[in-house]
Homo-oligomer: A and B are copies of this chain.
């Protein structure tokens, strides 16, 4: 009890605008832009901007987020009064094998986002030591360090390397990039929690554990909390919000899909046809099965598959879906998503629904 309370107090202290259970929108490359992140944070969650593969436009993105926060909403001001350092109530995510810490640092000094999410270091988690050290220096520890992992051994390594504030435990049924092999959060969250308790017996020194992967509605949030997570990260669910930077065809494919364990697949081909190279050993991505994958399975060469992909881009929205070729990353929870809902309403309904299952009228009946 004492331990859990201490952890929850830590989340409250670090993200004081956030309500519990903490709902987070993932830093989906190219999709999670300021509009989505700000909407999620405004609803009492924590929204992440994807800096993604590089850090070139980070300053612009953070400025845009700041503007959005200030847009006619006196009840959620950015603390930018004279003498008070800025603090931006969103996070920023980096694909660390590709992004540049040096380019990103000035933006951290200037905007102090609430969290940075570090993913996929090129060789090992010790590669994150400069990221953690310099960002902590630049923001006087105010930007919290989040790291995404997909296994117990990764969690141990990252704690030993940089003692992160948050470990995002990503199950193998998550959409987009993750470890190619792994477990779901069902075993991963409890086992990582046990391991963290061993490594850091004192709860104030221990990373919070957030769950990601296959969570699309309040039942998933409640399940993850019962498994021992302190909050939940969702990606695919937010693809079907008007605030996502996403093609209509992509969004339609998300709404149309069902039975995600069968209609999605983990593969590297969806990167290869887009000329994205350099993901570290052991990573791939989960997306809806389409012709790119089926032709790849049928033996089509990568060169030819890439050519067809480029032609398909001309079809625009028509290029998505099971009969299209364009990459539609999605997790196995895609079948639970039936309509486009505003990001703020997604956050609120997840939170309310989970509270109802855990404490209210929808508690399991025994």
Contact = CB atoms under 8 A, between A and B. Distances in A.
Given A8-B366, A219-B190, A336-B190, A171 B151 contact: no
Copies in the complex: 2
Contacts of A224: 186, 223
A152 to B, nearest CB: 4
Given A187-B220, A358-B363, A366-B21, A262 B182 contact: yes
A260 interface: yes
Interface stretch (A26-34, A46-54, A225-233): A225-233
Interface in A316-336: 331-336
Contact of A225 (B217, B226, B355): B226
> What is the interface residue range for chain A against chain B?
35 or more
A230 B366 CA distance: 8
B226 A187 contact: no
A198 to B, nearest CB: 12
A134 B340 CA distance: 47
Interface string A350-366: 00000101110111111
Contacts of A243: none
A346 to B, nearest CB: 16
Given A190-B336, A335-B152, A336-B191, A261 B365 contact: no
Contacts of A213: 184, 186
Contact of A153 (B21, B226, B262, B363): B262
Interface string A208-228: 000001111101101111111
Interface centre among A183, A187, A188 (most CB of B within 10 A): A187
A297 interface: no
A172 interface: yes
Contacts of A333: 183, 186-187, 191
A173 interface: yes
A332 B187 contact: yes
Contact of A259 (B185, B191, B331): B191
A60 to B, nearest CB: 36
A109 interface: no
Interface string A166-209: 00000111000001011111111111001000000000000000
Nearest to A355: B366
Nearest to A224: B223
A265 B181 CA distance: 8
Contacts of A334: 187
Interface centre among A7, A150, A228 (most CB of B within 10 A): A228
Nearest to A361: B1
A261 B188 contact: yes
A190 B262 contact: no
A183 B365 contact: no
A342 interface: no
Given A4-B364, A8-B366, A220 B259 contact: no
A191 B335 contact: yes
A209 to B, nearest CB: 12
Given A223-B227, A262-B151, A361-B1, A187 B172 contact: no
Interface string A140-163: 000000000011110000000000
Sort A-B residue pairs by CB-CB distance and give the 8 closest, nearest first: A183-B261, A184-B184, A183-B332, A186-B214, A182-B261, A20-B366, A152-B259, A222-B226
Given A151-B262, A172-B173, A172-B261, 8 more contacts: A1-B361, A7-B365, A21-B364, A152-B258, A179-B261, A190-B216, A190-B220, A219-B226
